[in-house]
Amino acid sequence: MIPKKVLITGGGGFIGSNAAEHYLRKGTEVIIIDNLSRKGSDTNLKWLKTTGSNFKFQNIDIRDHKRLGEFFKKHSDIDTILHFAGQVAVTSSLVDPRYDFETNALGTFNILEGMRNYCADAVLLYASTNKVYGSLEQLQIKEGKDNYQLIKYKKGITETFALDFHSPYGCSKGAADSYIKDYSRVYNLKGIVFRQSCIYGEHQLGIEDQGWIAHFIIRAILNRPITIYGDGKQVRDVLYIKDLLEAYDKAIEKSNKIGGDVFNVGGGVQNQISILQFIHFLEDELDKKFDIKFKDVRAGDQKIFISNNGKIKNSLGWSPQTKWKIGVRKLIKWVKENQELFENF
């Protein structure tokens, strides 16, 4: 099923602008809501315009329930909502927890209310995070030369792991994640939650606080120093944006069966890398040595997270297709071609 009319909140952001391009190419009518608070989100919208596709943009802050309500009332024929707008960094959530709460928890609640009141038959996909599982300190971990390794759960973390919201960001995303699950249950809505690992790809305007793969590539290409928080052995399973969009397609297709369901979605075991391994790969690819500094590990930073994609594979027939080195090379190419975007980063 190809959506006819999709609302993308946070459509000026990395995942949102890629999703907009993806659905515009399929002929879907796309409406983007964004308050353009993320630096560079306006440049993503400019890029979307150059693709020649027709999308509508509304500068609405999702904290503003009145404006959102009016918006939903006017657009009750929306059949798909991709909810990406949010405060995205753990670090910023510690500095301004109220803003984080209002955007992620209350903002999501406002979206749910708009949906319940005006387009209750729509599908809602929410970009939640693996941070809802907390710092996972209970895991038995082996320390390798340049990475951490799981001793048990070698296939990764499943959805059955206990929720343990850690940091204001973990709490606000976790609250939104739980609200979507419960609204689907009590109001019979088709809300689907993706607990996503690190996503990377073109149009990711990575900064030190969020989007580390793009951030390191941008710093390396611009010959700027790089800071690693912790020992750099932290491991993440990384997922290329185009693979994530395939997973959204499959979830929308099967939304009648999976409303209210939750899936871990990441690069999985095959696409696990540590920061140090990534840096070494990048130095080889760019053929230069970087100026690297180490600082104290950040609060709540998981030593290792690998998504077990078993549930989404069984339910939707989805698994990641892009090997991390291939996807990262595409991002390197994009950053090289768009260096002017990052001069003031």
Q: Is 28 in the site for ligand NAD (CB under 6 A)?
A: no
Q: Which of 148, 169, 183, 248 is catalytic?
A: 169
Per the annotation, the verdict on 169 as an active-site residue is: yes
Note whether 220 and 282 are within 8 A (CB): yes
Shortest distance (Å) from residue 158 CB to ligand NAD: 17
Under the phi-then-psi rule, with left for phi > 0, alpha for psi from -120 to 50, and beta for the rest, what region is 268?
left
Per rule CB under 6 A, count of chain residues that contact ligand NAD: 28
How far is residue 288's CA from residue 306's CA, in Å, rounded to a whole number? 29
How far is residue 260's CA from residue 192's CA, in Å, rounded to a whole number? 5
Site residues for ligand NAD, 39-98, by CB under 6 A, read 41, 61-63, 84-88
- The residue with tokens 């939304």 is 255
How are beta strands 272-274 and 235-240 bridged, if at all?
A: antiparallel
Exactly one of 6, 7, 8, 10 binds ligand NAD (CB under 6 A); which one? Answer: 10
For the chain, the first-to-last Cα distance in angstroms comes to 40
Q: Is 106 in the site for ligand NAD (CB under 6 A)?
A: no
Question: 63 or 65, CB closer to ligand NAD?
Answer: 63
Amino acid identity at 67: R
Shortest distance (Å) from residue 287 CB to ligand NAD: 27
Exactly one of 35, 93, 264, 322 binds ligand NAD (CB under 6 A); which one? Answer: 35
Q: Is 231 in the site for ligand NAD (CB under 6 A)?
A: no
Question: Could you give the 3-state DSSP secondary structure of residue 318?
Answer: coil
Catalytic residue annotation: 169
Kindly list the residues in this chain that would bind ligand NAD in the complex (CB under 6 A): 10, 12-16, 34-38, 41, 61-63, 84-88, 103, 107, 127, 129, 196, 198-199, 211
